[in-house]
Amino acid sequence: MIPAAPVPLRRSPALRTGLSIATAISLYGVSFGALSTAAGMTLWQTVALSALLFSGASQFAFIGILASGGTGAAALGAATLLSGRNTIYAVQMKALLNPRGFKRLAAAQLTIDESAAVAMSAPDPLERRRGFWGAGIACYLFWNLATVLGALLGDVIAEPEALGLDGAVVAAFLGLLWPRLKSLDAWALAVLAALVTTVTMPLLAPGIPVLAAAVVAVVWGLTSKGARS
Amino acid sequence: MSLWFWVLAACAAVYATKLLGYLVPQSWLVHPAVGRVSAMLTIGLLAALVAMNTFSAEASVTIDARLGALLAAALALLLRAPFIVVVLVGAGAAAGIRALG
């Protein structure tokens, strides 16, 4: 597809980043599988959520609401609301990658926090494409394998937190943001977006604070003059 | 049967939220402001993800070992550590802080 690749695929930084993130999230897949079956889902329903829904936060919300006695409609509503940010990622990915035909349908399924974040932080079109597909496919495979493992092993699983996996996820997203913080303008927006997210988290439904931060960023982009990045 | 209905409906609804973004007309994306807004949106979304993953708690916010992971990762980034090292430093910091109680 690309005539001259500057870096061979094996040494692609975006691909390596994608694989690191996929490894970090896979233990969450194990705990999702375990919690989902504990919440009363069958093995196949658990597998369906990871294979077909494939959006970690939405999946945890779905089973969490059912486990706490919520209705199926409430679980569906929360999962969908939490996936609102995927719509924004999808617009970004369309602008960056513009996949067509079957690839568009596949790209839509793989559009999640991790794949979008790796693609957005890559420096050029080739790396963006490698980052998106590499992170997306690796996350999909690892997440689904981990889900099955967790569903079969059940309660035997250690808490991912004990291994610091939640710290790994925080570090990964900071690592993706970091190269973008090259100007005072960028720092100011990042701090503001983080503040808006944190302040609205206790007030808004899960997933919505990220959308609030997105609105702030759009307004910032439209109003700031001479913004460079 | 009923649970299966909600599982599959949720799968379809979430897939629709993802596909929706790809159906935005290409002509909307060539406007000059889109490039700048897109760059700002990237920063805003990534910063929001950092904050959400650092401070999230059930229906609230909290400060715990993840803040230590954030600071340790920032230090690693200042020292120009490669991405995988940054991730491992984050994990090590969170696990270490918890182990020390």
Tens of pLDDT, residues A129-154: 999 999 999 999 999 999 999 899 87
The mean pLDDT value for B82-87 works out to 87
Q: Are the beta carbons of A161 and B14 separated by less than 8 Å? A: no
Which domain covers residue B59, as residue numbers?
Answer: 30-100
The number of distinct structural domains making up chain B is 1
Which H/E stretch holds residue A78? helix A72-82
Which domain covers residue A191, as residue numbers?
Answer: 182-229
Question: In terms of domains, do A61 and A151 share one?
Answer: yes
Range scoring the smallest mean pLDDT among A64-73, A184-193, B10-19, B37-46? A64-73
- The answer, yes or no, to whether residue A81 has pLDDT greater than 90, is no
Tens of pLDDT, residues A82-134: 888 899 999 999 999 999 999 999 999 999 999 999 999 999 999 999 999 99
Question: In terms of domains, do A150 and A209 share one?
Answer: no
pLDDT averaged over every residue in chain A:
88
Of the candidates A95, A168, A194, the beta carbon closest to that of B47 is on A194
Q: Tell me how close the Cα of A158 comes to any Cα of chain B, in angstroms.
A: 13
pTM: 0.79
pLDDT of res. A77: 87
Cα separation of B99 and B93, whole Å?
10
pLDDT averaged over every residue in chain B:
90
Question: In terms of domains, do A126 and A186 share one?
Answer: no
Question: In terms of domains, do A93 and A172 share one?
Answer: yes
Q: Are the beta carbons of A167 and B86 separated by less than 8 Å? A: no
Tens of pLDDT, residues A192-210: 999 999 999 999 877 788 8
- Which one of B53, B78, B98 makes the best mutation probe of the A interface by having the most chain A beta carbons within 10 Å? B53
Q: How far is CA B59 from CA A201, B45, B46, B55, B62, in A?
A: 7, 20, 21, 11, 10
Residue B62 placed within a domain: yes
pLDDT of res. A177: 92
Give contacts of B 25-54 with A, CB under 8 A: 26, 29, 33-34, 36-54
Report the chain A residue with the minimal C-alpha distance to residue B100: A162
Of the candidates A76, A168, A216, the beta carbon closest to that of B44 is on A216
Residue A124 placed within a domain: yes
The number of distinct structural domains making up chain A is 2
Query: What are the tokens at A81?
Result: 């609301």
